[in-house]
Structure 1
Amino acid sequence: MTIFGKLMWFFRTHKRLYALGLSFLFLTEISQMVSPALVGRFTDEVVSRTLTIEKIFLYAGGILLFSLLMYVFRYAWITNIFQGSALLEKTLRQQLFDHYMIMDTTFYQRHRTGDLMAHATNDLSAVQRVASGGILMLVDSVVVIIFTVISMIIVVDWRLTLIGVLPLPLLVIGVWYLSPKIRAAFTQSQEAFSRLSNKSQESIAGIKAIKTLGQESADVEAFEIQVKDAIQVNKRVARIDALFGPMATVIMTLSYVIMMTYGGSLVIDKAITIGQLVSFSTYLGLLVWPMFGLGQLFNVLERGNASYIRVQNILSEKSAISEAENGVVEPAKGDLVIQINQFTYPDTDNQEPTLKNIHVSVKSGGTVGIVGRVGSGKTTLIKLLLRQFDGYSGVIRVGNVNIKDYTLKAYLQAIGYVAQENFLFSTTIRDNIRFSDMNKSQEDVAFAAKQADFHDDILSLPAGYDTEVGEHGVSLSGGQKQRLAIARALINDPEILILDDALSAVDARTEKNILRVLKTQRADKTTIIAAHRISSVMTADEIIVLDHGEIKERGTHETLIEMDGWYAKMFRQQQLVTEIVKKGNGKAGIDG
């Protein structure tokens, strides 16, 4: 199916807009056909010496009048057709952005950020050109050719017209041959642009790491390789694209040669007049743009087709996370019950379960701590609680309702989540804290900041809550970023608060203050704390120790210490480290 066929859903939706545009385009072409006829008549009047002042003004006025009409009609069709193309770009851009918002974690693991950005920019621009320049060149070229040929037959001579346009089918053959090649080349070009875009995005996002590790030269070299690859691909596109123009030139030259030889013989035989030959030459000149336009048309269409296929491939992907029909719309509330028999990450060759036999119950208002060595499954368990993956054997319930039976809005709005590394937006501290609800008052924002032990730090900043955090929170320290993220999660007083190693960058005093606030002010809400630092979970009602995706130990802090297992060993090690640090600080103070 051609790109026009694929976009027919849009053209039907906005048929009035395109009908108006094409109608004015037809009127433009009709007006354009009159001037060559008037020029021919004027030439014959000059040759026959029958031209008068009145006729000069008549012919000049007629040409001027139809030129003005062409101006008005051309403005009208450009306004309508380009308005339609802007609507297409808006529609597709909104579809793509909405699609990005509902896709699951697996989708973002398969597609790089730069590639997704290329779809939303370069690909959509190529499709948009189909609905503007593509429509223009298609209709304009076809209509001009048809009207010009008809005018040639009526105004000049059907024999000269028939022979003069004989070379034109050669253009169709050339386009038919080159179109698949330009489509394949442009697909490769778009893919090269995606790779280059992704490389740029990664380098800019990781500029601190690149500079810290002294890898500027290596990264520049890697970027240059990507640029050279993109240039080579685009050179191939340019080589194929460059064949259209010369091909049209050769074909039009053949038509002019036929006009000069055969048309000249008809003038000698007095079958046509010199004025008619001049008119024919002018009409033939009108065919130059359509010939080049057809070449550009197929270029635009193939580029648009390649890009539309890329966009549709993205839009056709389905999220593995789906809402149940007639899902529960009331906010999730109540006891949390986790019964996961087995879970394995999708799209992985490793068939060994990441989690197995995880059975945990947390009463509403309770706190559970999750600890374990790196890779033990802590973050994976949290991902399942956040519904980033649904393909597990077992069930997770909140308030005796399977979390898959809630609407995503009802479930996720009941959860406050804070990761170790949090994304902060390039706006003020205030707007970052109230990001989930921009209608929250300053009092609400300040209260959440106090809960996160961040309020005093904010007031010490020059602009206070109006301080711009910069891109990714570049103006804040690691501990400040974490506390801002905690405040952002607490401002909505979530039914379930999940802290995924979210206190790793704060000092012991701050950690203690935050945990005390959570214990006292969230007495009726559930809190889940996953951490490497034992001090973060010591006060939890129950602590589970994960190892290779299974619960190896569980109980309160005191119970686990008595068990003298992994938990007790890690607690003693961390206590020893803390003591060494304290002694070191004390010695440094004495020496100072």
Structure 2
Amino acid sequence: MRLFAQLGWYFRREWRRYLGAVALLIVIAILQLLPPKLVGIIIDGVTSKQMTSTVLFGWLGLMLVTAIVVYLLRYVWRVLLFGASYQLAVELRQSFFKQLSRQHPAFYLRHRTGDLIARATNDVDRVVFAAGEGVLTLVDSMVMGLAVLIVMAIQISWELTLLSLVPMPIMAMVIKRYGDQLHQRFKTAQAAFSSLNDQAQESLTSIRMIKAFGLENHQSSQFADVAADTGVKNMRVARVDARFDPTIYVAIGMANLLAIGGGSWMVVNGHLTLGQLTSFVMYLGLMIWPMLALAWMFNIVERGSAAYSRIRSLLEEAPSVVDGETPLPAGRARLEVHIDDFHYPENNQPALHSVGFTLRPGQMLGLCGPTGSGKSTLLGLIQRQFDVTQGDIHYNGMSLKTIRLDDWRGRMAVVSQTPFLFSDTVAQNIALGRPEATQAEIETAARLASVHDDILRLPQGYETEVGERGVMLSGGQKQRISIARALLLQAEILILDDALSAVDGRTEHQILHNLREWGSDRTVIISAHRLSALTEASEILVFSSGTVTQRGDHNHLSSQPGWYRDMYRYQQLEAALDDVPAEKLSQVLVENKDD
């Protein structure tokens, strides 16, 4: 029953719909009391031979009209009640998605995709079912049950009514115990369903790798284990669920036995007529639904309560990065980074320390260094995926912590090292950030990213469906389409996080040439392992173990001893080995021998 209190905010807001549905349920309950009463009148009239055929058909006609009215009213209250519950589903899912979009990487380190999908679908369905069917059964069972009890006690016999209700308190205590068990077991079953979702999602996402390594049987075995565990936990729920109806029917059977036994004695002794006993038994039959509904209500409400607790635990989880309140003024400005120390949550080892630089509009910053040296961490801090532990980052003289996140991120276009494409056309993927962009603007961005010609060679050109995650495209094509998507935004700051790793040297050179023209008055930050991508940068930062070990432009760094010069010469030699004919390889090796 705690679910109704938790959803009180929604019931209060939609009180008109729920009140209308409850009012109609009360009317229906009252109308359903007429047939048993009329049957009793008919039986007494027929047995006493005092009822004419005209009166008989009149009573039968009244019963038919009552049935039609009840049918129509049931249709109306279902529209009111379930319309309100379906609206709750929409709002819960909107709130859930909004919460997910506000969260930062630390949140997704704790929660897996399959679990989040399960909460947004299966758990929400359970809550909505409880807000619809649960309210229906609660009100219907209470109104109908109380109305039948009052009529039985007042119009027939209160003594026989009390006798018939003897099994009910015992039944209520047993059902309450079942409800507590169901809440815990269903919560465990939903967690198992989340694990099943995780396993399915990961297997489908990595299906290419699974086939490449011949792991089909291994993955099938793992999935079967998870499915079996989910089945076991759901069977534990089913065992509790299966106890409700037998308990109800035993209580109803005992109530009928007591009613017929006690009622027969009262008829024999002249305290009741045969028609009154018949009406009483029919009224007692009407109590079957309220009691079954009560058990069913406990069942679905406890399921909904367990599901809502899982949803609410995520909705109440505050983002690790707090949104600022200050709007960002229009116009381009300096980006100033001063990081004394930064470490990831639950990790005391610093990921970055002693990093500082100033970047003005029109400048290009290059980032390089060994894998794991802190390049992507720096880019994440600039995007405010995390906050600096000690130090700060300023834009236009304002701390990023004080700027509205939407305003700040609206100034940036980011291409990550693992580009993501939606299962849509090429044109729609490029226009993701600007859905209103014209075809000419989309093609201009594609030309800047040196992917226009590749797109034209696709079966339907820009209208080609790329498949889930861009499955029909090569890695280089996906990267360049992602770059085109970023360029179309015309953002003030462009961040390329190793976004040229899958393109060849000639294409890379062409893209960088286009970027220099496009970014003449914009800030560009490029992180790369291939140092040829950084030759035109205004300044290059060389990272190692989370700090800057070298800095300067390409000419300066390539002439100074250190990681940059060694790596650049190695890459040049590697390129030469790939491009130079075999007879000239020895000459290249001799020229680079001393280096």
Could you say which TM-score interval applies, normalised by the shorter chain?
Answer: over 0.9
Pick the aligned partner of 1:485 from 482, 498, 501. 482
Residue by residue over 1:180-235, the C-alpha shift from the partner in whole angstroms, topping out at 9 and shown as x without a partner, is 11100010011011111111111111111111111111111110111011110011
41-50 or 196-205, larger mean C-alpha shift = 41-50
Distance 1:489 1:383 in 2: 17
Q: What is the TM-score with the length of structure 1 in the denominator?
A: 0.97
User: Which residue matches 1:575?
Assistant: 572
Distance 1:122 1:332 in 2: 46
Q: CA deviation at 1:399?
A: 2.5
Aligned length: 584
Pick the aligned partner of 2:411 from 411, 414, 422. 414
User: Which residue matches 2:69?
Assistant: 69
Residue by residue over 1:401-441, the C-alpha shift from the partner in whole angstroms, topping out at 9 and shown as x without a partner, is 22223221221111111112111111111111111111111
Distance 1:72 1:200 in 2: 45
**Which residues of 2 match residues 550-569 of structure 1 at below 5 A?**
550-569=547-566
C-alpha distance 586-445 of structure 1, shift in aligned 2 (>3 A): farther
**Which residues of 2 match residues 343-358 of structure 1 at below 5 A?**
343-346=342-345, 348=346, 350-358=347-355
Residue by residue over 1:481-512, the C-alpha shift from the partner in whole angstroms, topping out at 9 and shown as x without a partner, is 00000000001221111111000000000000
Distance 2:110 2:392 in 1: 27
Q: Does the residue aligned with 2:33 lie in a helix, a strand or coil?
A: helix
Whether the 8 Å contact between 2:364 and 2:537 is mirrored in structure 1 is yes
User: Which residue matches 2:538?
Assistant: 541
Distance 1:388 1:259 in 2: 70
Query: What letter matches 2:530 in structure 1?
Result: R
Q: Does the residue aligned with 2:373 lie in a helix, a strand or coil?
A: coil
Residue by residue over 1:25-66, the C-alpha shift from the partner in whole angstroms, topping out at 9 and shown as x without a partner, is 000000000000111111112222223211220221121111
C-alpha distance 22-109 of structure 1, shift in aligned 2 (>3 A): same
Matched, 1:473 2:470: yes
Distance 1:249 1:305 in 2: 26
Q: CA deviation at 1:135?
A: 0.5
Alpha-carbon RMSD: 1.4
User: Which residue matches 2:228?
Assistant: 228
363-372 or 331-340, larger mean C-alpha shift = 331-340
User: Which residue matches 2:590?
Assistant: none
Whether the 8 Å contact between 1:331 and 1:410 is mirrored in structure 2 is no
Whether the 8 Å contact between 2:179 and 2:298 is mirrored in structure 1 is yes
Query: What letter matches 1:497 in structure 2?
Result: L
Q: Does the residue aligned with 1:122 lie in a helix, a strand or coil?
A: helix
Whether the 8 Å contact between 1:420 and 1:501 is mirrored in structure 2 is yes
C-alpha distance 183-139 of structure 1, shift in aligned 2 (>3 A): same
Q: CA deviation at 1:585?
A: 8.5
Distance 2:322 2:475 in 1: 35
**Which residues of 2 match residues 161-560 of structure 1 at below 5 A?**
161-325=161-325, 327-331=326-330, 333-346=332-345, 348=346, 350-560=347-557
C-alpha distance 479-493 of structure 1, shift in aligned 2 (>3 A): same
C-alpha distance 584-220 of structure 1, shift in aligned 2 (>3 A): farther
Distance 2:172 2:162 in 1: 17
Q: CA deviation at 1:553?
A: 1.0
Query: What letter matches 1:547 in structure 2?
Result: S
Residue by residue over 1:522-562, the C-alpha shift from the partner in whole angstroms, topping out at 9 and shown as x without a partner, is 11111111011111112211111100000011111121122
Query: What letter matches 2:116 in structure 1?
Result: L
Distance 1:364 1:208 in 2: 43
Query: What letter matches 2:523 in structure 1?
Result: T
Query: What letter matches 1:422 in structure 2?
Result: P
User: Which residue matches 1:127?
Assistant: 127
Distance 1:303 1:331 in 2: 51
55-64 or 239-248, larger mean C-alpha shift = 55-64
Query: What letter matches 2:426 in structure 1?
Result: I
Q: CA deviation at 1:331?
A: 4.4
Taking only the aligned residue pairs, the percentage that are identical comes to: 40
Distance 1:465 1:130 in 2: 46
Query: What letter matches 1:495 in structure 2?
Result: E
Query: What letter matches 2:392 in structure 1?
Result: V
**Which residues of 2 match residues 139-154 of structure 1 at below 5 A?**
139-154=139-154
Query: What letter matches 2:386 in structure 1?
Result: F
Residue by residue over 1:62-94, the C-alpha shift from the partner in whole angstroms, topping out at 9 and shown as x without a partner, is 211111121122112111111111111111111
Q: Does the residue aligned with 2:27 lie in a helix, a strand or coil?
A: helix
Q: Does the residue aligned with 1:242 lie in a helix, a strand or coil?
A: helix
Q: CA deviation at 1:329?
A: 3.4
Q: CA deviation at 1:586?
A: 9.2
Distance 1:571 1:26 in 2: 83
Runs (4+) of structure 1 moved beyond 3 Å? 583-587
User: Which residue matches 1:590?
Assistant: none
Distance 1:585 1:490 in 2: 40
